[in-house]
């Protein structure tokens, strides 16, 4: 008798998802890995995230082909090289109060004889997995979000690839900014957590980086940029997370329509900031929102490796019967944490450690006080 694993990707797409899917399939099906197990596995992919399990009853061959993709080693052989997700994704919430579809979700899981579910996603996707675990469905989570805003793990799939995109796009902007003597404001993703803006800004050499965790003063931003010009700079880059905002102002909202998890769409801070910088400094300033470009393209080497490690760890949890957990990377080791410790919390930038609130950029004294020789406290 075989144990059936169902696997899905939820929320926004990003590089590294396919590497995790491939790793789950290979770890579950490859005979070299399964000799010491008491059960064999088969693996099915669920199309379009939770939508694939709660949009319609999967009770005909036509519905099965629409929502389910049987997975084997030959099919996924080169998936780790590809961006996005070959299973498709969505932001569907089966427990949305406006239209609860959890009964259909549970019915389809039973009809498909799914013994355990591997959910790859962020806080919303893993929140559904946690609720299912409480209802008796065995689940395992894999962390994915380019914002790196999940607690319980030092890394989430897609982050390094997104930072690489920011770095490359700013490199391109820098040449035109210098040619035209301009300032460019680059808006990145990051609703509540500024890791992407911070590390993308540091990697690309941005002059100013603005985060959701620390409201900024326009006068100080303009002062920093004006000082750079007085020193002879012909161009400057400002990186701002979409969730950042000036003091005494609300977040900039692109659309107030809520998704099924209750989130509105933020955006517009970059354009606003560019206008205010130009008015305050007299320097020509343009803005660019990187938006979905940050999610696109091929996975960097790090995301390919982490996808592999996370997928293997997920199957190890299933083999041990250790459900209701998310695999994670902490202190240099692959481990796991209970979903209940992850859901409902946000991993934000620790401003006192990683951010200079005077310079509006990454801290220049990171770790030095405690870890440099001769500087130990005590």
356 as an active site residue: the answer is no
Q: Which residues contact 129 (CB under 8 A, 6 or more apart)?
A: 117, 119, 139, 140, 141, 339
Q: Which residues contact 137 (CB under 8 A, 6 or more apart)?
A: 106, 109, 116, 117
Measure the CA dihedral 191/194/195/199, to 10°.
130
- Strand intervals (E) in 157-274: 183-188, 208-210, 236-241, 253-255, 265-266
| DSSP class of 172 | H
Q: Indicate which residue of 13, 48, 124, 147 is catalytic.
A: 147
Nearest to 60 by CA among 24, 21, 108, 102: 108
Q: How far apart are alpha carbons 42 and 28 in whole angstroms?
A: 7
Q: How far apart are alpha carbons 128 and 227 in whole angstroms?
A: 49
Give the orientation angle of helix 159-180 with respect to helix 195-204, to 10 degrees: 50
β partners of residue 338: 325
Rg of the chain, C-alpha, whole Å: 23
Active site residues: 147
């Amino acid at each position: 008798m075989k144990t059936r694993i169902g696997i899905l990707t939820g929320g926004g797409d990003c590089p590294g998802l396919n590497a995790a899917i491939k790793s789950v399939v290979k770890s579950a099906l490859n005979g070299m890995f399964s000799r010491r197990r008491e059960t064999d596995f088969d693996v099915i992919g669920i199309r379009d995230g939770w939508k694939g399990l709660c949009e319609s009853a999967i009770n005909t061959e036509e519905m099965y082909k629409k929502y389910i993709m049987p997975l084997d080693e030959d099919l996924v052989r080169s998936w780790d090289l590809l961006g996005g997700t070959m299973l498709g994704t969505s932001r569907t919430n089966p427990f949305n109060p406006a239209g609860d579809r959890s009964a259909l979700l549970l019915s389809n899981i039973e009809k498909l004889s799914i013994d355990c579910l591997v959910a790859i996603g962020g806080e919303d996707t893993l929140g559904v997995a946690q609720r299912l675990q409480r209802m008796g469905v065995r689940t395992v989570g894999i962390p994915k979000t380019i914002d790196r805003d999940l607690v319980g793990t030092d890394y989430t799939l897609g982050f390094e690839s997104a930072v690489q995109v920011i770095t490359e796009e700013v490199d391109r902007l820098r040449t035109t900014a210098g040619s035209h003597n301009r300032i460019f404001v680059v808006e990145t993703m990051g609703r509540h957590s500024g890791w992407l803006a911070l590390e993308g800004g540091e990697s690309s050499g941005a002059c100013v980086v603005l985060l959701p965790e620390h409201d900024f003063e326009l006068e100080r931003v303009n002062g920093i940029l004006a000082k750079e010009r007085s020193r002879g700079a012909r161009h400057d880059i400002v990186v701002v997370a979409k969730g950042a905002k000036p003091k005494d102002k609300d977040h900039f909202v692109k659309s107030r329509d809520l998704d099924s998890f209750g989130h509105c769409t933020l955006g517009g801070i970059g354009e606003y900031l560019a206008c205010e910088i130009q008015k305050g400094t007299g320097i020509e300033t343009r803005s660019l929102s990187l938006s979905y470009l940050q999610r696109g393209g091929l996975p960097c080497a790090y995301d390919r490796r982490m996808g592999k490690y996370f997928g293997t760890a997920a199957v190890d949890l299933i083999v041990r019967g250790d459900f209701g957990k998310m695999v994670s990377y902490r202190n240099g080791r692959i481990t796991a944490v209970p979903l209940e410790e992850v859901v409902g919390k946000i991993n934000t930038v620790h401003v006192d450690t990683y951010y200079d609130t005077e310079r509006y950029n990454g801290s220049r004294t990171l770790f030095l006080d405690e870890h440099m020789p001769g500087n130990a406290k005590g």
